[in-house]
Structure 1
Amino acid sequence: MPSNGSGATRRMRRAASPPPPEESDRASAGRRPSLKSLFRTRSRSLEREIAMLGRALDLPTTILIQGDSGTGKDRLARALHDASNRRGRPFVRVEAANLSDDLFESELFGHERGAFTGAVSGKRGLLEVAGDGTVYLDEVSSLSLAGQAKFLRVLQERTFRRLGGVVVHPFRARLVVSSRRDLSELVREKGFRDDFFYRIDVVSVRLPRLSDRPEDILPLARQCLKESARDYGRPARRFSRDAEELLARHPWPGNVRELFHVVQKAALTADGPIVSAADLPSGELGSVESILGAAVERRWTLKELSNAYIEETLRRAGGNRSLAAKRLGVSRKFLWERAKKK
């Protein structure tokens, strides 16, 4: 049975805590932000998806976000809340991976005093805390079949009761759900309830990998650099040309999360306003694996792969053509003539 002092309980209570009153007031005051401004993209296909979500912003329908790890599901869920008419109300994140069957009802529905051993007082559940705001159910594929059945009942009846209680509470929040796994495939494999899937797959979007929308790499990196420099009080303002070339060339297997991680580290280490390629984490970018990965991912020609390898060798040689030529096994004249042709 659950206990009041569980680590999972504390983690999810912190995640569910509503913002301070002054933050809530700021969110609800002033001009309402657009979803497009909160979740920027230059990918035309993704732009169409975001526009479709924008039309459902103020509807009570459930929104399902699918995509690989690090593609921006959490950011989109938060943007959906902040751009909706619920933006001044609580945004409650529920990590499905932390919801064991024993904890499920106590965490989501709450419990009354004496409902189980250790329940010395009543407690509101996360659905009650959310009120008229948004419940973000992260990684729904982690829910057990029993947990899916219980959540399905809430969505069908739009009510719930605390564990050990008799009072029926209305469920008024908008539900946003995410999954890195393909739920339709899980349904076929009998690992996910089909009735629950049909209930949450009302309005859905699939976020592509960052390598599938390379036009977003530099705009996202520039935005992250600006925000990181502001948050950390650092002087970094923009990337040098060679830094941007390196960022654009990397295949980003960790998607947007990996990109932000790299840029945040660069913002901390750069001493001046311009972040150069040397300021980027050398152990994470420009490796043989990353260059080859980008070549395969983007279907480079042999010429493109050769150019990328030469440019990376020159960068690591600090622009010293003699040293780079020695490492490449070519003449210094070859690099000079190549530079003239660019």
Structure 2
Amino acid sequence: MQPTARKPPTRVIIADDDPNVARLLAYHLKSWRVDHSVALNKKELLELFERDELADLLLLDVRFGDSDGLELIRDIRQRRPNLPIVVITAYGTIDLAISAIKSGARDFLVKPIDSNRLKSLIDEAIETRDASAARQVRTGAEPPSATRSSRTEATSEAEHGIIGDSSATQDLVRLIRRVAPTEANILILGESGTGKEVVARAVHQLSRRRSGPFLPLNMAALPSELVESTLFGHEKGSFTGADSANPGAVESAEGGTLFLDEIGEMKLDLQAKLLRFLQERTFQRVGSSKPRKADVRIVAATNRNLFDQVLEGKFREDLYYRLNVVPIRLARLRERPEDVPPLIAHFLRRICSRNGIPSKLFDPDSMRAMISYPWPGNVRELENTIERLEILTEGPVITLADLPEEIRYGVGSRAHTGSLPTGPAQQIAAESDSGISASKTELAGTIDEMEKVAIENALEFTKGNVRAAARRLGIGAATIYRKMKKYGISPDGGPASADPEEADPD
């Protein structure tokens, strides 16, 4: 038996022209026993590459000396196509960081550096490297040129569409990795648009059934009279229009995964047949008494409270417990706002590639509004919004004026977001929310309150410039002064202490 190979030490390259930032990063890496090299300018960085210095991660200041950060990223991708790059940015250059991701960077860190987030990114780089090395041992493949890690191959593909840096998303990825290799039944719980099918696909791709089919079936989209035959198949002549025998989804998913979406819509009589299949792995086609077997893993999903349906007699209790062996609860997008920027970057890349159009950038104000908006339709609404903005916005930059009114004015955002998780996006959103009292976060949604919030947001965005706020809202100066007086708003967003008409900063 061969001895177990020792894992190579983790190595990180720091590329930052600010010696203080470089020293701070080096201090953290040293405390975690991570080997590192430092480049204070582009020349030193390229010299590291010339010496064929191997690395698992590059920490790159998005404004690195006199270099064009985006051009430098593209240059690095040519030299080291598999080297994960994390750009370091300040709040004022958040849009540049997002552009860097579109140019090939893996992620970004916002100054001041959050050491916990930095550690998480390094741990991910180690996991990526080790997964890549394990695959090379199994397949005999050559290692990627000039680096030991492959973000695209080992992380992005392995997570299969699960995008985000929030603790909720990272916990989700860890849970999927833990349960996917098992044969346990899984019940995915979440609001519409949270990505239940994406999670189901990730479970399949990380399971031992990945070489088999993944078959999604939406119970709510099927006519009630066809649900059973669609699920279990039918024999010729078993009902009007059954001109030939057809296998159902269970047979078609043999050796793979069958995803039953909106399982709460299934009728009680069919629930009994599904329960039998889960217990015995046998079923019967419609019009046949012959039992058949199938080797299929069932992953179910619902946006309903199935336990309430059990109490109401609408869902079988035994089936509920059979399906709910491993529950996976998906957080709403408004509960993880720091996932919005990476999701936007992901959708922009995909939409632009699909439509063959150049990508656009969000300016800081529009990005803050996107982060603050509660997204009642969750990730699906975000994706649809990004596609509409990408196609319809004139010019290369998406501004606040380009956003739909409900996002632009931020109506309802503070009423729904509640306590935001800590993270770069949350900190960015918090900048635009500074000075807002708790009472303003509890809006009832009336027209007056909506107007008040819209004006307050506009004044925040324009730093108290009343005329600029009026232009942003598309109303006249006299109108905004009248509204400010009505609602008792001063240019700084607080209660008015004088006649608003005397407070014009212009």
* TM bracket (short chain): 0.7 to 0.9
Query: Match for 1:285 among 407, 413, 424?
Result: 407
TM-score, reference length from structure 1: 0.78
Which of these residues, 383, 387, 400, is aligned with residue 260 of structure 1? 383
How far is the alpha carbon of 1:90 from its aligned partner?
Answer: 1.9
Q: Which structure is richer in relative contact order (CA contacts within 8 A, separation 6 or more)?
A: 1
Task: Find the residue that maps to 1:55 and give its secondary structure.
Answer: helix
Q: Distance in 2 between matches of 1:48 and 1:115?
A: 47
- Please tell me whether the aligned partners of residues 35 and 80 of structure 1 are also in contact (alpha carbons under 8 angstroms): no
Structure 2 residue corresponding to 1:317, chosen from 471, 490, 494: 471
Alignment partner, residue 260 of structure 2? 137
Give SS of 1:302's match.
Answer: coil
Letter in 1 for 2:417: R
CA distance in 2, matches of 1:265, 1:166: 51
Matched, 1:249 2:383: no
The equivalent residue for 1:26 is: none
State the SS of the aligned residue for 1:317: helix
Deviation for aligned residue 1:102: 3.1
Aligned CA distance change for structure 1 residues 173 and 336 (closer, same or farther; 3 Å): farther
Q: Which residue type is aligned with residue 457 of structure 2?
A: A
**Residues 235 and 271, structure 1, Cα contact 8 Å, conserved in 2:** no
Q: Which moved more, 1:249-258 or 1:299-308?
A: 299-308
Larger Rg: 2
Distance in 1 (alpha carbons) for counterparts of 2:234 and 2:469: 61
Secondary structure at 2:194 match in 1: coil
Matched, 1:240 2:357: no
| Deviation readout 1:65-112 (Å, 9 max, x if unpaired) | 101111111221222223333334322111112445532331111111
Matched ranges for 1:292-331 at <5 A: 293-299=412-418, 302-303=436-437, 307-311=456-460, 314=468, 317-318=471-472, 323=477, 326=481, 328=484
TM-score (norm 2): 0.54
Partner of 1:223: 346
Partner of 2:408, secondary structure, is: coil
- In 2, Cα distance between the equivalents of 1:123 and 1:213? 44
Counterpart among 269, 288, 299 of residue 146 in structure 1: 269
Residues 164, 248 of structure 1: CA spacing in aligned structure 2 closer, same or farther, 3 A cutoff? Answer: same
- Determine the C-alpha separation between the residues in 1 that align with 2:299 and 2:161: 16
Corresponding residue number in structure 1 for 2:204: 81
Q: How does 1:54-133 map to 2 (within 5 A)?
A: 54-99=177-222, 102-133=225-256
CA contact (8 A) 1:263 1:280 kept: no
Partner of 1:137, secondary structure, is strand
User: How many residues of Structure 1 are paired with residues of Structure 2 in the alignment?
Assistant: 305
CA distance in 2, matches of 1:319, 1:181: 39
Sort the Cα spacing of 1:250 and 1:316 in 2 relative to 1 into closer, same or farther, 3 A: farther
Unaligned runs of 5+ in 1: 1-28, 338-342
Distance 1:73 1:147, change over 3 A: same
| Alignment-mate amino acid for residue 193 of structure 2 | G
CA distance in 2, matches of 1:85, 1:51: 17
CA gap 1:148/1:251 in 2 versus in 1, 3 angstroms: same
Gaps of 5+ in 2: 1-138, 142-152, 419-432, 441-452, 463-467, 486-490, 492-499
C-alpha distance 196-246 of structure 1, shift in aligned 2 (>3 A): same
Q: Deviations over 1:132-166 (max 9, x none)?
A: 12111010000111111111011111122222235
Matched position secondary structure for 1:135: strand
**CA spacing shift, 1:321–1:179, aligned 2, 3 Å:** closer
Please name the residue that 1:186 is paired with: 309
Q: 1:179 to 1:274 in 2, by over 3 A?
A: same
| C-alpha distance in 2 between matches for 1:236 and 1:92 | 33
Cα deviation code 1:304-334 (max 9, x no counterpart): 8565242468567249999496475666885
> 1: CA distance between counterparts of 2:355 and 2:252?
32
- How far did 1:176 drift? 1.1
**Inter-partner Cα distance in structure 2 for 1:158 and 1:316:** 66
1:196 and 2:315 correspond: no
